[in-house]
Amino acid sequence: MPTVLITGANRGLGLEFARQYVADGWRVIATCREEKAAPGLADIDGDIGVHQLDITDHASIQALAKSLRKEPIDLLLNNAGVYGPRPVKLGGVDYAAWDDVMHVNTMSPLKVTECFLENVAASDLKKIISITSKMGSIADNEAGGSYIYRSSKAALNAVMKSLSVDLSPRGISVAMLHPGWVRTDMGGPSGLIDAEESVSGMRRVIDGLTLETSGRMLNYDGAEIPW
């Protein structure tokens, strides 16, 4: 069965991805910042290994990649993310917090990808997915605000689009997925869908991803989202 590596797998969408892939018989490499703070992962029965990983800690990413260097990874799932301070008001922008959000949401997914690239290249499915947000779509931005989160996801999209072009000759497909507005800690209780529905939809989109459809931003129901 295929193998998936998930970042931020201890709660929210990452935990639901871990649950669903294990239930489907996949081998799951679940990573999270604090292994001890991951009771949801400990409750999952099946082929799952839990590893400590703060995605902003480059030495830690390199060390994990070294320890897993012989493992083909069919699907690399860059899921971990932060929203940052909210609300962000003009005149009160927290630039240090913006720096942190850019590290987590934009730079770290590329660093994780660099470190696990050969694992993906050695696999059968060869897929890299980054969980983005429609809030990173400039075309869709009619509400304004959210300077920090929007810019971090727009920049993630630019990075992942380049990656899709660069990795196409190696047979690796890349997509950016918007999970919908989901009832997680980040999405809050007013979200329109639950994690189960969001992840089931995203898994269908991931299944259908090919080299021909690589390099797009897609909604959890498969609809393309304009940049």
Ligand X SMILES: NC(=O)c1ccc[n+]([C@@H]2O[C@H](COP(=O)([O-])OP(=O)(O)OC[C@H]3O[C@@H](n4cnc5c(N)ncnc54)[C@H](OP(=O)(O)O)[C@@H]3O)[C@@H](O)[C@H]2O)c1
Out of 81, 84, 201, 215, the only residue in the binding site for ligand X (CB under 6 A) is: 81
Catalytic residue among 123, 133, 151, 198: 133
Tell me whether residue 130 is one of the annotated catalytic residues: no
Catalytic residue among 130, 149, 164, 220: 149
Task: Give counts: helices (H), strands (E), the chain.
Answer: 7, 7
Q: Return the half-sphere exposure (C-beta side, CA atoms, 13 A cut-off) of residue 146.
A: 18
Rounded Cα gap, residues 94 and 85, in angstroms: 8
x/- letters, 163..182, toward ligand X (CB under 6 A): ---------------xx-xx
Tell me whether residue 149 is one of the annotated catalytic residues: yes
When asked if residue 191 is in the footprint of ligand X (CB under 6 A), the reply is yes
Which value, to the nearest 10 degrees, does the dihedral of the CA atoms of residues 39, 40, 41, 45 take? 110
Question: Min. distance of Cβ 160 from ligand X in angstroms?
Answer: 12
Contact predicate 222/202, CB 8 Å: no
> In terms of Cα–Cα distance, which of 113, 49, 27 is closest to 78?
113
Tell me whether residue 83 is one of the annotated catalytic residues: no
Rounded Cα gap, residues 73 and 27, in angstroms: 9
Catalytic residue among 151, 153, 164, 214: 153
x/- letters, 15..54, toward ligand X (CB under 6 A): -----------------xxx-------------------x
Binding site for ligand X (CB under 6 A): 7-8, 10-14, 32-34, 54-56, 79-82, 104, 131, 133, 178-179, 181-182, 184-187, 191
Task: List residues with catalytic annotation.
Answer: 133, 149, 153
